[in-house]
Amino acid sequence: MCGRFTRYLPWSEIHRLYRLTAPAEIGRNDTPRYNIAPTEEVPFVTAGENGGHKLRQGRWSLVPWWAKEMPKAVMFNARIETADTSGAFKDAFQSKRCLVPADGFYEWTIWPADKKFHPWHIFLPEHQPFSFAGLWAYNSKLEVTSCTIITGPASDPMNQIHERQPVILDQSAYEAWLDPGTSAEAAKQLVDLNLNGQLQFYQVSRDVNATVKDGKPNDSPHMIEPIALL
């Protein structure tokens, strides 16, 4: 699964990954984030006009276009095995696929000594930026734009710490993934074009476990710093 992720990409990296064409999307830098949690606002990229890409902002946890009220279930992940048939995700999988910029994410294991959850920071070599495969929706009744991240069975090396992982698409798959004309069947095959086998990880502070501290977002650079193995 993917329950938290990090994003501290300079704007130059955003432009390297995507073809953003709107004037308002040039030269902007977002505040670095080190502990993004479900239901928070995140940027994501969709197909744009004239073959370009469009940067959108929305809630990380999908609100289907047909929902009449905010979902009680938190739908921040969509399983690739059922995303094309699930009632919550199938419409988005058909024509509203997106990319979610990131440069790391967290996963947890239960530590034998104290039976508590301990976080691992997971990233590509040299902490290079990447894109999660995602889905998005706009609900006009609730006026909510939202997205979710696709997950699949974990491969080596991620399967050493968890049975599932988010799909990190290879850049060669971006165009077809975003293209609404790509069929759901073809899109499902695109997840095989991924960078999941390149992932690295190390243990980080349990401070990551709390999203709020003293009434404020718990989001600071030390969260991605490695610690000695417990």
Domains observed in the chain: 5-105+129-197 (3.90.1680.10)
Taking only the tens place, the pLDDT of each residue in 159-217 is 999 999 999 999 999 999 999 999 999 999 999 999 999 999 999 999 999 888 888 87
pLDDT in tens, 21-62: 665 555 555 778 999 999 999 999 999 888 889 999 999 999
**For position 25, what pLDDT does the model report?**
55
With CA atoms as reference, report the closest residue to 79 among 151, 184, 132: 151
Within 10 angstroms of residue 180's Cβ, the number of other Cβ atoms is 11
* Tens-place pLDDT, residues 115-127: 889 999 999 999 9
User: Which residues, listed in sequence order, are joined to residue 7 by a DSSP beta bridge?
Assistant: 33
Question: For strand 164-166 and strand 77-79, is the pairing parallel, antiparallel, or unpaired?
Answer: unpaired
- As separate numbers, helices (DSSP H) first and strands (DSSP E) second, the chain gives 4, 14
Please check the confidence at residue 227 and state whether its pLDDT lies above 60: yes
The beta-carbon contacts of 82-88 under 8 Å, at least 24 apart in sequence, are 83/135, 83/150, 83/188, 84/184, 84/185, 84/187, 84/188, 88/62, 88/64
Active site residues: 2, 107
Confidence of residue 68 (pLDDT cuts 50, 70, 90): very high
**Is-contact 8 43, C-beta < 8 A?**
no
The token pair at 118 is: 């301990």
